[in-house]
């Protein structure tokens, strides 16, 4: 039995159509990561951002095709449209941190917020693999565990009174 996927499932043009990330692409992605994962204390530490960008670069060097195209299109749309929503000139990476936060919130509440979905999906998968992000969320590396406490018994429904 042949275990390889059919030829039409394999994206053989992904390397030809997906050039390696350049500095502008990395700068834009880093600004989005910093704004997306900011807390009241500010953006994530530079070490964590560097790690996230290295992982993102690695993923995007190996992946191609429609997934990478969706990410890049989303990044392009967000980078150039979000600043305009707060009446600032693009690109997103040139804005101050406070302006980036305002632009992101405004973009998320707009009708074109779906353009941010591909960015968030990819960046969340990568960002939360970092040990500091996992520790911040109190993730212990274990899955959800069954508690030994018995489940509460369902309460009896009150009887319906008959109408006269």
pLDDT tens profile 36-81: 999 888 999 999 999 999 999 888 877 777 878 888 899 999 999 9
DSSP structure class, residue 39: B
Looking at the DSSP assignment, which residues form a beta bridge with residue 42? Answer: 39
Cα angle at 54 between 39 and 137, to 5 degrees?
35
Structure tokens at 110: 């707009």
Structure tokens at 51: 């790690």
pTM (2 d.p.): 0.71
Q: Going by C-beta distance under 8 Å and a sequence separation of 6 or more, which residues neighbour residue 41?
A: none
Residue 9 has pLDDT above 50, yes or no: no
Query: In this predicted structure, what is the pLDDT of residue 145?
Result: 66
Provide φ and ψ at 39, rounded to 5°: -120, -175
pLDDT tens profile 141-153: 776 666 555 556 6
Mean pLDDT for the chain? 80
DSSP structure class, residue 149: S
Torsion 101-107-113-118 (CA) sign: negative
């Amino acid at each position: 039995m042949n275990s390889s996927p059919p030829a039409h499932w394999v994206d053989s043009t992904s390397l030809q159509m997906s050039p390696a990330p350049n500095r502008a692409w990395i700068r834009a992605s880093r600004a989005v990561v910093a704004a997306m994962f900011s807390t009241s204390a500010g953006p994530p530490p530079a070490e964590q951002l560097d790690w996230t960008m290295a992982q993102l670069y690695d993923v995007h060097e190996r992946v191609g095709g429609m997934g990478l195209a969706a990410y890049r299109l989303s990044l392009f749309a967000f980078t150039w449209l979000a600043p305009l929503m707060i009446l600032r000139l693009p690109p997103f990476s040139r804005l101050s941190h406070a302006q980036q936060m305002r632009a992101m919130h405004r973009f998320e509440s707009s009708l074109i917020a779906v353009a941010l979905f591909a960015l968030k999906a990819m960046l969340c998968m990568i960002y939360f693999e970092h040990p500091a992000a996992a520790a911040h969320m109190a993730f212990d590396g274990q899955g959800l565990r069954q508690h030994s406490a018995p489940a509460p018994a369902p309460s009896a429904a009150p009887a319906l009174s008959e109408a006269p």
